[in-house]
A and B are shown apart, each in its own frame.
Chain A
């Protein structure tokens, strides 16, 4: 993390949800956005740099948020008896490794780019509990996420929980 940045320590779930929403706001379809959220938490929780995540969001549908899940799917669909193996292109940013680590089943990425996925075994991954996220990044991701928000209509307001009743009953 760059010196001098204000940070707020956030829960892993806050960061995962925010990253996924930011990806959606950047124009990424929902499934790929969810995968990005899961990978982002493991990436940051494992000490990865923010830059690749930020760059991925900037690239939106034209970047790794779309391409990495597809490459992993290509490897996975060649599985035999639930075990798949294949090669990933080198990724010095570590983002590919985070995507592999975020798979729900046991999976690993070797230094030579070999990915091994075992669909017969669930993933055992470290628990990420807190993540330092600079305010600047949080703000930028929040702006992207806000692109999905819809102003409530009067109709919606009149139908929501607690509406049309006295709560002093």
Chain B
């Protein structure tokens, strides 16, 4: 940890038993620790500039373009390919075979031959083949109605309708952003020590920010006019994401630990602030108003989620009262605020956590350098089966409390689909395939290991020689010694498990806002909304938490 030699004071961290529950993780909001925020701070610090290298786009908006940017002493280029996609082929589903646009983040500035290779392969996505200089692969579909409306407005010499900008919020939405060696692209390990790309998903976030830049340029090109900067700033990049993202948090326990530990450490530092300056009090009050405005603009079609947003608005009206400047004059006022929202819903509590971090970049931003996992899971093995038993009793009590033979507690199973080799969730008692279940049932596995432990202690290796199927459970229990926030402390195969909560947790770390769940298994979100435009990086541009559209 970079700043551990002079760490600011902090209060005790919220315990994993509170933080790592799925419903709370599914209530998280983006914060200044989110990866997109870290990226734009870095870009701003370097005064990064986007250069348009190639623009071979026809009047209707089809062709290819290349944009380059310098970051950390390296040059990266977005190669963008725009195609004329018939409406009947436009689908956000993973089974799609064609998209409005496709992208590669390239290491360096591609020569003509490389551009030709990428423009031939990128539109094929999973069916294409990529190389070590292709860092990220992505694709996006248009928001047809907004793209068409903006083009029509610009061609008519006017700006687009404000209500449509606010309602949709993006010109295109990505349906996949692939990294780490997929389909032959570069392994993350080959570039994750480069300045600016060390953080988790940093290359993916850079790609998304550049895609947004491309979509702005594309619509202005086709519309033959310029958008107001305020409108461009509010036009982010949509994202449609589903179960493919969910198992990541289970398969990468050290990363999950580091993300959550950094967030909780940041909160603990902020809560320890003794007194606030006048400027900090005013800032907190202004953020409370902004959050309320953001919630007011957050509208979704799903009635259940809309009801949840409306309940949050009510809660937030009460929470915001605690942030009035005159209420913030006492000792340790931020700890009092968090305590003061404890009776409200988890959405309001987690929104407050994100808000409280916002004015205190000097205390928390350095922690973002600890969110990657450069080493892997380094934990010494447990001494014997008694040590294993005690560790399970201490850290996996949540797993032991569940009766996994109850159909309600094992009603779902995770698997990999034959059609697209993507993670899926099946109904155990209605669908075939449970025998090929993916190992996301960590709680059930730990309890099964616990039940097989011998009455007298023996080496763990002796136990595993007898029960090799418990090796995963033993590994996860061993990790809990060093990584307290590594496990989602809920039963992920329960009938009641909502994968959407896992998606929201991960997407909030990306910096996504405007969660628009379409079911309990997939959601649309918006990335980069309110983020600084390429020409605004000089001004710093870090103040875009919970964007509000104000034409």
Q: CB-nearest residue of chain B relative to A21? A: B416
Q: A156-B426, A162-B522 are in contact. Are A149 and B416 (CB under 8 A)?
A: yes
Asked if A70 and B93 make an inter-chain contact with CB atoms under 8 angstroms apart, the answer reads no
Count of residues in B whose CB is under 8 Å from the partner chain: 73
A139: CB under 8 A from chain B?
no
A127: CB under 8 A from chain B?
yes
A155: CB under 8 A from chain B?
yes
Tell me how far the C-beta of A120 lies from the nearest C-beta in chain B, rounded to whole angstroms.
9
B464: CB under 8 A from chain A?
yes
Query: Which of B243, B374, B436 contacts A161, CB < 8 Å?
Result: B243
B244-269 contacts to A, CB under 8 A, are 244
User: Bound state CA distance, A13 and B182, in angstroms?
Assistant: 7
Q: A30-B439, A73-B381, A150-B436 are in contact. Are A162 and B91 (CB under 8 A)?
A: yes
Chain A contact-residue range equals 35 or more
Q: CB-nearest residue of chain B relative to A9? A: B184
Asked if B186 and A164 make an inter-chain contact with CB atoms under 8 angstroms apart, the answer reads no
Q: CB-nearest residue of chain B relative to A150? A: B433
Asked if B187 and A12 make an inter-chain contact with CB atoms under 8 angstroms apart, the answer reads yes
Residues of A within 8 A of B376 (CB): 104, 122-123
Tell me how far the C-beta of A162 lies from the nearest C-beta in chain B, rounded to whole angstroms.
3
B10: CB under 8 A from chain A?
no
Asked if A160 and B243 make an inter-chain contact with CB atoms under 8 angstroms apart, the answer reads yes
Asked if A29 and B469 make an inter-chain contact with CB atoms under 8 angstroms apart, the answer reads yes
Q: A11-B185, A150-B415, A150-B417 are in contact. Are A165 and B465 (CB under 8 A)?
A: no
Q: A73-B461, A156-B425 are in contact. Are A161 and B468 (CB under 8 A)?
A: no
B427: CB under 8 A from chain A?
yes
Residues of B within 8 A of A79 (CB): 380-381
B31: CB under 8 A from chain A?
no
Query: Which of B175, B189, B417 contacts A152, CB < 8 Å?
Result: B417
How would residues 90 to 114 of chain A score, 1 for a CB under 8 Å from any chain B CB and 0 otherwise?
A: 0000000000000011000000000
Residues of A within 8 A of B132 (CB): 11, 129-130
Besides A9-B184, A14-B183, A105-B378, 16 other A-B contacts (C-beta < 8 A): A11-B185, A13-B180, A31-B475, A70-B464, A77-B382, A123-B378, A149-B415, A149-B436, A151-B418, A155-B426, A156-B426, A160-B94, A160-B521, A161-B94, A165-B92, A168-B144
Smallest CB-CB A-B distances: 9 pairs:
A161-B242, A13-B181, A11-B181, A104-B376, A162-B92, A150-B433, A122-B375, A162-B93, A161-B522
Tell me how far the C-beta of A53 lies from the nearest C-beta in chain B, rounded to whole angstroms.
18
B431: CB under 8 A from chain A?
yes
How would residues 13 to 30 of chain A score, 1 for a CB under 8 Å from any chain B CB and 0 otherwise?
A: 110000000000000011
Asked if A150 and B439 make an inter-chain contact with CB atoms under 8 angstroms apart, the answer reads no
User: Bound state CA distance, A29 and B64, in angstroms?
Assistant: 46
Q: A150-B433, A169-B145 are in contact. Are A104 and B377 (CB under 8 A)?
A: yes
Asked if A61 and B468 make an inter-chain contact with CB atoms under 8 angstroms apart, the answer reads yes
**Which applies to chain A's interface (DSSP): helix, strand, loop or mixed?**
mixed
Residues of A within 8 A of B418 (CB): 146, 149-152
Query: Which of B185, B426, B469 contacts A153, CB < 8 Å?
Result: B426
Tell me how far the C-beta of A6 lies from the nearest C-beta in chain B, rounded to whole angstroms.
14
B519: CB under 8 A from chain A?
yes
Tell me how far the C-beta of A139 lies from the nearest C-beta in chain B, rounded to whole angstroms.
15
Q: A77-B383, A155-B431, A161-B94 are in contact. Are A149 and B468 (CB under 8 A)?
A: no
Residues of A within 8 A of B415 (CB): 148-150
Asked if A161 and B240 make an inter-chain contact with CB atoms under 8 angstroms apart, the answer reads yes
User: Bound state CA distance, A30 and B425, in angstroms?
Assistant: 18
B403-455 contacts to A, CB under 8 A, are 415-419, 421, 424-427, 430-433, 436, 438-439
In the complex, 10 of the A-B residue pairs with CB atoms within 8 angstroms, ordered by the A residue number, are A29-B468, A29-B472, A30-B472, A77-B460, A122-B375, A150-B416, A150-B433, A156-B417, A161-B175, A161-B243
Q: A29-B471, A156-B431, A162-B175 are in contact. Are A167 and B378 (CB under 8 A)?
A: no
Most buried by B among A30, A161, A163, A169: A161
B141: CB under 8 A from chain A?
yes
B241: CB under 8 A from chain A?
yes
B459: CB under 8 A from chain A?
yes
Tell me how far the C-beta of A142 lies from the nearest C-beta in chain B, rounded to whole angstroms.
10
Residues of B within 8 A of A105 (CB): 378
B103-136 contacts to A, CB under 8 A, are 129, 132
B143: CB under 8 A from chain A?
yes
Asked if A151 and B432 make an inter-chain contact with CB atoms under 8 angstroms apart, the answer reads yes
Query: Which of A11, A119, A148 contacts B187, CB < 8 Å?
Result: A11
Query: Which of A122, A153, A155, A162 contacts B94, CB < 8 Å?
Result: A162
Asked if A74 and B518 make an inter-chain contact with CB atoms under 8 angstroms apart, the answer reads no
User: Bound state CA distance, A123 and B377, in angstroms?
Assistant: 10
User: Bound state CA distance, A9 and B129, in angstroms?
Assistant: 10
Asked if A167 and B92 make an inter-chain contact with CB atoms under 8 angstroms apart, the answer reads yes
A52: CB under 8 A from chain B?
no
B53: CB under 8 A from chain A?
no
Q: CB-nearest residue of chain B relative to A15? A: B181
Q: CB-nearest residue of chain A relative to B503? A: A161
Residues of B within 8 A of A151 (CB): 417-419, 432-433
